[in-house]
Structure 1
Amino acid sequence: MKPTTLAISISVAICSTAAFAYTPGTYTASIAGQNGPVTVEVQTSADKILSVKVLKQQETEGIGSKAVAQLPKEIMTAQSAEVQAVAGASVTSAAIKKAVQECLDKASGKQAAPVSLKNGVFEGQAYG
């Protein structure tokens, strides 16, 4: 019975530390928002998010600014970028959440997959 209890205890300890394995530091990322880039700064310890700040943004006052004011607090409480978007400010919310996730990925040592591009000339059109 003791080996089973010991094995379970070790498994729980490993899983709980693996879930939050950050390199302590301050990380920044910028993602396109509704009216321009949204730049966030995330400070981490080895096991938690210490602070989330929106450093730079040009979002619409009264709309996107609601997400700028609200989401950092919610991310801190949840200790995750996986929080609800602010109603009416979905683009700004998505930009903040994605930028925070990029910071957390950097803190945990995750690398983005390299993008392979083909040589050539490409054209595109957009209507809006």
Structure 2
Amino acid sequence: MNRPKLDTAAKSNGNAIKSAVAQTLGIDDGDITLNVMLAGGSFGRRAQTTAQIGRKIAEIAKPAGTDGAWKLIWNRTDDLTGGYYRPLTVHKMRTGLNADRNILGWENTVANQSIMTGHFL
């Protein structure tokens, strides 16, 4: 098997993906080259310790070997079913402006569920 090279989507935790792929393929994670796009947390998904996307690609590629290129595309239903998404949040904002439209006061009230609930605990 050649040294796997992963070009992955925007993820903030590349090490979790690398470890999950190594575990799935049964190799040392030092044998994997990982290129991570430093673009944040993937459009609303919460941080995922399961490295679900990397693990799924490794499961697909393992029987065929790692010599080819593999691309995983989920339909919208699969994508929404598989993620840990942030809960809905409501913001109520009030501002005060002077005649020159400079901000004199700013009040922001936020109501949302704690991000520490769910799969982190």
TM-score greater than 0.5 by the shorter chain: no
Q: Which has the higher helix share?
A: 1
Taking structure 2 as the reference length, the TM-score comes to 0.28
Larger Rg: 2
**TM-score, with length taken from structure 1:** 0.27
